[in-house]
Structure 1
């Protein structure tokens, strides 16, 4: 059950920041050897800092573009304005009003009030749109998707433009892999049939008012939850250290979690039909290959994997020197942490994923019985 501090943190996040940071999901927090810095690389205003098992966001510098939340493989950066659920609901309403055409517009072009607001969903920046939103729209029957974001060449945060192109390309590949045809296009103006001459009465609450109302609602929700939780709290708790929060469990691995966006994409692909290609290449999936001749069976890849895509042979206790490693492509998020922590550098992550593995209920098994003897285990807390 969340503590009062947790609830207050969420309330403050809604009030002050467009992004909530779930630090324990960040691979760079789980292990300082993690190479992932996608959020830092995608941020157009240098608002994110990752170092010393910490990730921090400078709210004053943040432009609320959402680019960091789109590229984060683990969901450590959670978008709040809008949330994934709110954005998808808005897209669905607009799509239903447009007979299957899903239109998303950036705040800059939406502010011109040239089109009927009931026919499109609005985002602060098109960088906020990720593959999971697009794939869910496709699985819900979208006949086409149009992203209207004006002229990025003159936008202050135009550095996010290429990321949007990558998202569109990834979406097209995933849809086509399932034999579906859902065209996606970027445009600098709204489709002509959406344009209006008189916007009087069509636009209600301003964006600023909307965000203020969202913050107020969040504070009220958290306040209510805090009161309900108070009687269950002992009070006077000290801040829990990272080592205590991310301590290895009985199976010898750090806590794992499901990536909702990742699951949404796989479910959407399955809803679109059977795969018509042998493999896909995407930033949201990956496979691993282990040179069992070099592997010493230390199992660190399984210890630090955030989703449990790699598991050690759990028949042996204690969970050291496993005889087997099991890998599920459907759980892999291409965070590359397993490759980063591999002592022997015998594990490689590849974005090329056989579709047979992606939808298989059976894992890929690596037989380590011929592996060299593993070193003695050490503390399995974050390094």
Structure 2
């Protein structure tokens, strides 16, 4: 029911701003011991309601800022963002403006500049866009209440380290006033080598080079279904070398503390952790490109032997396993080479103090 004093148009617009929720990808819904509360922590109006049994959204409290979408590690949340590109001199320029800048509606505004997340930025970069033209309001006094006016800048700085390491062009942020941004949006001004040129001056100079065609393209790669839940690392180009290679998320496996229970392997939703069997033997494989940072592996590990770290290299890409047979229960088991249990003769279950006391 539409609240008294609220128009139907306002109600429809508010509902369109609500994030779409895909429970199949939500870490909290997938695993009852998941510690993920990224959407809850990122939400300025505290619209996300978390309990031991459920995760819900207070639709009346939600302001549609999209910060939860950027924060969700698994891509379970989504809001449609307009994506506007201008092409000039073979370069693609992406334009984003916050709706709190004072720029009139109808200019493809987004709720908050800082709602752009790593997936959107990587997809943008893959589409050939390395220049991000933004107009933003006063973040420190914004009604959305974003906790930092530098959030997007810091995110791009971290991402650029990964891109440069892979010999890719970094992403540049170009911030403009509302007036200039609107002129660029309407193509009344053109950017050339970082300099704003009046339309007349640009056309005069372009005539001598034959480059008189301007083009505006509205694409939708940010909103493609197949890109919403793909691990950020899988959207990046593969590195030339794995040595010291940075990743958005890198699972750190500690062979000394790992007991080889396989719990993280079985519960990893993206196969960033795998068990690999060959004629030479078995091993654990860590593939950071598939890690989302959902933290389920750490939540299930009772030995604190694994944890995903952001913007980091992998310490162990492969961990060899030693095959053994438990002298207590007789079942086969394996432990990492170098584990504290490598010299023991009991499987991880029988080796637990509680199990030993029950057996006694």
TM-score (norm 2): 0.64
Q: Which structure has more RCO (C-alpha within 8 Å, separation ≥ 6)?
A: 1
Deviation at 1:111? 3.5
Equivalent position of 1:203 in the other structure: none
Alignment partner, residue 154 of structure 2:
166
CA distance in 2 between partners of 1:334 and 1:53 (Å) = 22
- Supply the distance in 1 between the matched residues of 2:254 and 2:314 (Cα, whole angstroms): 19
| Equivalent residue in structure 2 for 1:308, among 260, 268, 271 | 271
In the alignment of these two chains, the number of paired residues is: 276
Paired residues of 1:74 and 1:259 also in contact (CA < 8 A): no
CA contact (8 A) 1:73 1:334 kept: yes
Structure 1, 56-65 or 338-347: larger mean CA deviation: 338-347
Return the offset for 1:43. Answer: 0.5
Partners of 1:78 and 1:60 in 2: CA distance: 18
Deviation at 1:187, TM superposition (A): 4.3
Bigger fraction of residues in strand: 2
Q: Counterpart in 2 of 1:27?
A: 27
8 Å contact from structure 1 (residues 298, 374) kept in 2: yes
Partner of 1:289: 253
Larger helix fraction of residues: 1
Aligned to 1:95: 86
Alignment gaps of 5+ in structure 1: 1-11, 199-257, 316-321, 358-362, 377-383
Displacement of 1:279: 2.8
Is 1:374 matched up with 2:328? Answer: no
Deviation at 1:62, TM superposition (A): 0.6
Correspondences of 1:72-83 after superposition (within 5 Å): 72-79=72-79, 81-82=80-81
Deviations 1:153-206 (A, max 9, x none): 2211132545333333333333322332431234453536527799xxxxxxxx
Retained in 2: the 8 A contact 1:19–1:77?
yes
d(CA) in 2 for partners of 1:374, 1:72: 33
Q: Is the 8 A contact 2:272 2:291 kept in 1?
A: yes
Structure 2: any 5+ residue segments left out of the alignment? Answer: 1-11, 189-225, 324-333, 336-340, 342-346, 351-360
Normalised TM-score (structure 1): 0.61
Name the SS of the counterpart of 2:45 in structure 1.
Answer: coil
Q: Provide the C-alpha distance between the structure 1 equivalents of 2:142 and 2:187, rounded to a whole number of angstroms.
A: 26
Give 2:246's aligned residue: 280
Pair 1:275–1:177, CA change in 2 (3 A) = farther
Which of structures 1 and 2 has the bigger CA Rg? 2
> What RMSD, in angstroms, separates the aligned Cα atoms of the two structures?
3.8
> After the TM superposition, which residues 138-287 of structure 1 pair with which residues of structure 2 at under 5 Å, given as runs?
138-161=125-148, 162-179=150-167, 180-191=169-180, 193-194=183-184, 260=228, 262-263=230-231, 266-270=234-238, 278-280=244-246, 282=248, 285-287=249-251
Displacement of 1:305 in angstroms is: 1.1
1:328 correspondence with 2:287: yes
